[in-house]
């Protein structure tokens, strides 16, 4: 299936958002995600089913110091 991850088109066999994030080596505890511009709560990662051509944005919070 083709999706857009942070603006890049990728092909994945992942079925859920959690599977995709793990496949792409993201630390799930340290990121925030949006699907088609809608914020996705972390508790929904496991159940959110991916669909063809979804736009997923993954960001890491910035720390000041």
Residue range 10-55, pLDDT digits in tens:
999 999 999 999 999 999 999 999 999 999 999 999 999 999 999 9
**What pLDDT was estimated at residue 60?**
85
Instruction: Residue 35: name the closest of 49, 15, 24 by CA.
Output: 49
Token couple for 49 = 């089913």
For residues 22 and 41, give the distance between their C-alpha atoms in angstroms, rounded to a whole number.
16
Taken in order of first residue, the domains within the chain and their CATH numbers are 2-59 (3.10.20.30)
3-state helix, strand, coil in the chain (%, to 5): 20, 35, 45
For residues 59 and 2, give the distance between their C-alpha atoms in angstroms, rounded to a whole number.
20
């Amino acid at each position: 299936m083709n999706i857009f991850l942070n603006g890049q088109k990728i092909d994945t066999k992942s079925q859920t958002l959690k599977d995709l994030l793990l496949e792409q080596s993201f630390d799930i505890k340290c990121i925030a995600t949006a699907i088609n511009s809608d914020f996705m709560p972390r508790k929904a990662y496991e159940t959110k089913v991916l669909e063809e051509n979804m736009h997923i944005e993954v960001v890491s919070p910035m720390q000041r110091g």
